[in-house]
Each structure stands twice: as C-alpha cells, then as structure tokens.
Amino acid sequence: MIPRRILVIQTAFIGDVILATALLENLHQGLPDAQIDFLVRKGNEGLFDNHPYLSNVLIWKKKDGKFKSLWQLLKQIRQTEYDWVINLQRFAGTGMLTAFSKAPKTTGFDKNPLSFLFTNKFPHKIENGVHEVTRNYELVKNEISGALLKPRLYPASGDYGFVKPYQSKPYICVAPASVWFTKQYPAERWIRLINQLTAQYQILLLGGPGDNDLAGTIQNQVSSKENVQNLCGKLSFLQSAALMQSSVMNFVNDSAPMHICSAVNASVTAVYCSTVPEFGFGPLSDDAHIVEVLEKLTCRPCGLHGHKTCPEGHFKCAVDIKTEQFLEVLP
C-alpha cells in the first residue's frame, strides 16, 4: 500500500531537526502525492513557515507539561490515521507516540527503547564518514526511489526583505555561541579573527537571545566596533538563513548555524573544537570548510557531545587553532 499520510518525528534540538529536512525532501521526491506532517518540540516550528512539502507541523510542548502534551499528541496522531510514522528520535516518549499511533507501518532506530514495537527498525551507528542525513535515509530508502537529497529550509520573500538592510556591503556572518563550552571557539579568538576582517567586511554576529551577552562582549572588544553588528535575538530562524545565504562566508561552531548554512547551501566554515566531523554532523554546503587543531590530540574527541569544561583543563583543541586557518578559506 502506498502511504497517503506520513508523520515524521524529530523532537531533538535545532540542528538535528534541520538535518531531518533532508528526509522530508526525499519523502516528497519519492511520494509526491503523500501528505507529510512533521512533529517537533516547541520553539523549532518557526523553521517550517512556508515549507512547500509539509501539510502540518505538530508541536510537543515539553515545558508546558511533558506527559500531558504527549497524551494530547497521541490522541491527535491516532485521529489523523497516518499510514506511516517515521521516528528519528531515540527516546521513549516519541517511541510511545510511534508504537501506539495505530499506523500500519512504523519505522525508527533500534536505539529507541520501544523500537521492539515498531514494524521496522534499523541500527543507528556513529561511523567514520557516514553523515546523519545518510543514517536517517536508511529508514526509508527501501520504500521510496530517488537519490539522497540535502537538508533544505525555505525562507520567504519577507525574510529576504527583512535582512536586505544588512546587505549594503560585503559581509561575513559569525555565529560565536554553542550550548556546550567545549564546542564553542573562545570569545577572545573570535575577537582576534574579527580584527583581521573588519577592514574589508561588515561583520554580523548571529545567534539566539541567549547569545546576546557573548556577542556583546565580542562587539565591545573588537578594534573597529562600527563594522560589527550584534543581531543575536533579532532574527528568526528563516531570516538568519536568508542572511547567511548571501554571506561571503559564515564562520560557525559545530552547532545549529552550521546546519542552517547547509539547508540554504551557504558558504560555511565550521570550527571543530572537542568534537570531530567524522561523527557525521558536518556541513553539507557546496562551499564548506573545516577548521580544527592541526596537532593530533590524544584527548580529542572527548565525547560525542560537548562538555561544560575541558576534561583535561587545557582546551588545546580550541586555543591551538590559528587565526590563519580561518583566513585561508576566504575567496
């Protein structure tokens, strides 16, 4: 039976959700007449304004009552009568939604504790050279035709219009923050880099409202403050994507802004401190560059995710990266 109604579930953080958009592209390519819905956590729904292939975006309001919201979602999912539920998350909450969805076909990763109740389950392995979009594609490749596609976001004309005032001269976007300390290139190093760039480019600092203090610190300490603007918290996801799409270069950490660049094919240079691209979450833009410490450190990587402090106390994976490594990627 060809599925007519499909639900994709990815309730992780922004970067994982953006990477999941590659699966939406592939599902539409392989099943162009199917209704595709997407379930995300509250706060990430803004990524999908104007998305041409999505019929509905379901929202898990975890902070408003995690389990109450889960039960409401389960009721909504069962009423919709999906033919196929595809779960990219590996936790029990979304496993419950999948297993008890009443969908005749349920697909997910075997790391989900309720995967034994799915009709199809697949391994999720962090292997050298295998990207997360490829791991996700494994869930559906036997059911649909077509080549693996890249993640994609769809800024609207209003998003491009909103950022146009920032584009009067050549500019570089810098997204200096990360949720994890050891995935974040240090502020003083960003300042050093920006001081090398402001003579030629306008520098636009991007991030969420919680990144405003960090960006303000950077802006206040650069030598040419008039050429640096702090836009943290002032742009939506899609406005940020529209701005980054035409940037001469986007300098980012191993974090969500990197994936935003991938989703609009923007030029990007990702700095990797404690993590490594080999985990499979690297940039996918045509013009993509990696900056990482040149020395082979026995302590790197120190985990799949970041840490609040460097476990070794020296943070050499970040502080030993040279400014010249960033400058070499510029056209």
Tokens 């975890």 belong to residue: 62
Per residue of the chain (331 residues), give pLDDT as tens.
899 999 999 999 999 999 999 999 999 999 999 999 999 999 999 999 989 999 999 999 987 777 889 999 999 999 999 999 999 998 999 999 999 999 999 999 999 999 999 999 999 988 777 999 999 999 999 999 889 999 999 999 999 999 999 999 999 999 999 999 999 999 999 999 999 999 999 999 999 999 999 999 999 999 999 999 999 999 999 999 999 999 999 999 999 999 999 999 999 999 999 999 999 999 999 999 999 999 999 999 998 888 999 999 999 999 999 999 999 999 8
State pTM to two decimals.
Answer: 0.96
Radius of gyration of the chain (CA): 21
